[in-house]
Amino acid sequence: MARLKPGDAAPEFQLTDQHGQTVRLADFGGGKLLIYFYPKAATPGCTRQACSIRDAREELVDLGLAVVGISPDAPARQQKFDDKYNLSFPLLADPDHRVAEAYGVWAEKTSYGKKSLGTIRSSFLIDAAGKIVAAWYGVKPEDTVPKAQKALGRG
């Protein structure tokens, strides 16, 4: 698994969000973006992570930061997740995990002693020029927002 590091170009993506709209990395050109990858919508850790981002939304906007979440879930499952928790930011479907692979977050995981391939919870701060500012692999759900805030000088 190749890991991205500060200074690397953020891999391009074009994915469908929970509303059936196509979202591209280029759509955020000229602004800062926090991309976070999560294993499965509406599971406990993923819900804590998404709700912490939702709850920090005003401060993140004040920092000039847009947010997108990416998981292997289908758009319909993403929509249910958004509706249930009123997330109100793009949740992107990556069912073939090509984008997760490009960001180095699709890897072997061990859960309850069983090995499988899946999404390693990770987040990336991308600058207006499309470069990685910070990459956090294996980030805890509750650490996504504080790490981004600190990287932006608000921690």
Strand-by-strand arrangement of the 122-126 sheet: 22-24, 14-17, 91-93, 65-71, 32-37, 122-126, 132-137
**Residue found under tokens 């999560």:** 38
| Rounded-to-integer distance, Cα 141 and Cα 46, Å | 7
Q: What are phi and psi of 77, to 5 degrees?
A: -70, -40
| Rounded-to-integer distance, Cα 41 and Cα 47, Å | 7
| Rounded-to-integer distance, Cα 110 and Cα 115, Å | 4
46 is catalytic: yes
Check 46, 120, 134, 152 and give the catalytic one.
46
Cα four-point dihedral sign 117, 118, 120, 122 = positive
Task: Give me the active site residues, please.
Answer: 46
